[in-house]
Structure 1
Amino acid sequence: MKLLRIGEPGAETPAVRDDDGTIRTLAGLTDDINGTFLASEGIDRVRTALAEGSLPVVDAIGLRFGAPIARPGKVVCIGLNYRDHAEETGAAVPERPVVFLKDPSTVVGPFDQVLIPRGSVKTDWEVELAVVIGREARYLTDPSAAADRIAGYAISNDVSEREFQLEYSGQWDLGKSCEGFNPLGPWLVTPDEAGDPQELGLRLTVNGEPRQDGSTKNMIFDVAYLVWYLSQYMVLNPGDVINTGTPAGVALGLPGTPYLRGGDTVELSIDGLGTQRQTFINA
């Protein structure tokens, strides 16, 4: 099942894409796709309503796609979680997950324009598998307990400004929390449809030129481990998002490859999770 939100920023309508590709509104079932919806068995209610044929069809042609989850309580990010990405940036392969937080207000729609910050010369791209939490995860006993805490998966572009991140003060949040720096979507795909999260191909192009082509099977710390690990240090709440890291191919790791400039277009895809596309403009 693919959940989505359509409409202008701040006025998105919850919807679902059925097996035939038809968009159906959830307006009579929930006000939004958020933590409250996920925690109250909302996905099961949608599944039942689809089976009953009670959800009206929506003409989504020309409508904006918002992020498939309303603003998360937190966006937790994992750095250097692909061996090839760690190697290309000259970093040691981490023995424990590298964890940082990203401002939840950075989450925007999958086709929204993204602003290059004023003064930026090193705005970079990162295709990532995003995990959306569906049930509270707190001190999980082991990674096998993570599966029923996951509502689904989505594509995330963990946009980064490398000078702000690495050269100004060593505080990663400065280069990660700029306006619009986390396009998400187009769908929230439930685990039964997404399949094995460790067998998904990830790809990214800039102006049609291939930059990233990896697989989640090459994660250093897999999805289940990350959910378990994070639950030992923070409470993961319904609607929270985890960005699980990026494979090799970012500008930081490709000497001579230009960083993003105004007018550049980035396109991302992950197997079974769809495609997103952003044009970058100067703030």
Structure 2
Amino acid sequence: MNGSFRYVRKFIIHRKTVSKFHEQRLFSFNCFQKRTFSVNTNPLEMRFVQFKSVAGGPQRLGVQLSLDGDIVDVSAVDSCIPNNLVEFLRGGERFIERAKRIVADGKSITPLSQVELLSPVIGPDKVVCVGLNYTGHCEEQNLSKPQEPCIFNKFPCVIVGPYCDVIHPSNTKALDWEVELAVVIGKTAKEVLRKDALDYVFGYTVAQDITARDWMKNRNNGQWLLGKSMDTFCPLGPAVVMKEYVSDPHNLAISCSVNGEVKQNATTSELIFRVDDIIAYVSHFVTLLPGDIILTGTPAGVGVFRNPREFLKPGDVIESEIAQIGKLRNTVVQKN
């Protein structure tokens, strides 16, 4: 009887050991599968772009495989995936997972040389902006740090692509540059808590907040809207990098040059109100929707506060760059 008991007990222990071994093997295999995808996907591989073929045709939605790299045409591979990012984000996680699988399969790759990159976000519901949000930008104006975010907006229709011309309006003599980190909202956010706010971010891109200073400061009864929202006043792109592929949005090099001369050079660590602060704050006033854009502010070095003042003129080339995300290159042209 005792011998039989010992045999049964030994058998049960053996079964448990084997079962545990298989569980470990399965766990290791699953982890290996996840690690394999991660290893094969460098930090810039989920860079969402909107583009058209240089030969013509409709707008497409794609994922650029690396900075300045070729593009996986996800909307061509899967007809269920919309050809624009705002509608894609409205579809939620199901579209995101489909896009990741397509990228992993490496299907329908289009050379960058064969496309025209558009703004990665077109037609968002809102473009929310934050003023006075870098310590250096406050210091160059001899201003104290604000106690709460300074919120204004730009009309969504003024968004243009990463390499589009910026029109110099005939009614301003004080056109200025402002490079900014832009946040793209991934899902509906209403009255969110700061600790949860980053869950609502889809990704990050580069923005140039072109500003007519004379209209911002001295016209329109002191309201900023017109000085910020003339045609072409929001170059955006070249890609929206998903948040998990940006190491730290609050520690990125950010710079702007005009005609090759560096005007702004800082890091996003200077942000007074961080991305989670801004989302939590704004979402208590207005519902943020998928595809909405938040411009988080600009560092020191804008033209109006230089000595002597400097303003953009037709022919000037503005380059706006943020580490891990990319660079805009926009030429100022005279309005016809």
TM-score, normalized by length of structure 2?
A: 0.80
Match 1:227 to one of 246, 254, 279: 279
- Listed one character per residue, the Cα deviations across residues 16-45 of structure 1 (whole Å, up to 9, x for unaligned) are 112593311122332323333113222222
1:32 and 2:74 matched? no
CA separation in 2, counterparts of 1:264 and 1:18? 31
Task: Map residues 200-215 of structure 1 onto 2, 5 A cutoff.
Answer: 200-215=252-267
Q: Which structure has greater helix proportion?
A: 2
Map 1:1-283 → 2, pairs under 5 A? 1-7=46-52, 11-18=58-65, 21-28=69-76, 29=78, 30-40=81-91, 41=93, 42-53=95-106, 55-61=107-113, 63-140=115-192, 142-168=193-219, 169-283=221-335
> What is the rounded CA distance, in whole Å, between the counterparts of 2:110 and 2:102 in structure 1?
15
Q: Rate the CA distance shift 1:10–1:73 in 2: closer, same or farther, 3 A.
A: farther
Flag the structure with larger Rg: 2
Tell which has more relative contact order, 1 or 2 (C-alpha 8 A, sep 6+): 1
> 2-side partners of 1:87 and 1:17: how far apart?
38
Any idea what the Cα deviations from partners look like across 1:37-73, whole Å, max 9, x if unmatched? 11322222211222233x3011331532111112211
For structure 1, the 5+ residue unaligned runs are none
* Alpha-carbon distance between aligned partners in 2 of 1:160 and 1:19, rounded to the nearest angstrom: 31
Aligned-residue CA RMSD in angstroms? 1.7
Decide which moves more: 216-225 or 60-69: 60-69
- TM-score w.r.t. length of structure 1: 0.95
Equivalent pairs, count? 281
**Is the 8 Å Cα contact of residues 319 and 327 (structure 2) preserved in structure 1?**
yes
* Alignment CA distance shift 1:10-1:134 (3 Å): farther
CA drift at 1:144 = 1.6
> Structure 1's 23 and 10: CA in aligned 2 closer, same or farther, altered over 3 A?
closer
SS in 2 for 1:138: coil
Letter in 1 for 2:135: R
Other structure's SS at 2:237 match: coil
Aligned-pair CA distance for 1:10: 10
Give unpaired runs (5+ residues) of structure 2.
1-45
Residue 15 of structure 2: aligned partner: none
Give % identity. Answer: 36
Change (3 A) 1:19 1:279: closer
Tell me the distance in 2 between the aligned counterparts of 1:62 and 1:248.
Answer: 37
In the TM superposition, residue 79 of structure 1 has moved relative to its aligned partner by: 0.3
Quick one: distance in 1 between partners of 2:332 and 2:100? 37
Q: Are the equivalent residues in 1 in contact too, given 2:86–2:123 (CA < 8 A)?
A: no
C-alpha offsets along residues 82-105 of structure 1, whole Å, 9 cap, x if unaligned? 111022134332110000111001
Determine helix, strand or coil for the equivalent of 2:113: coil
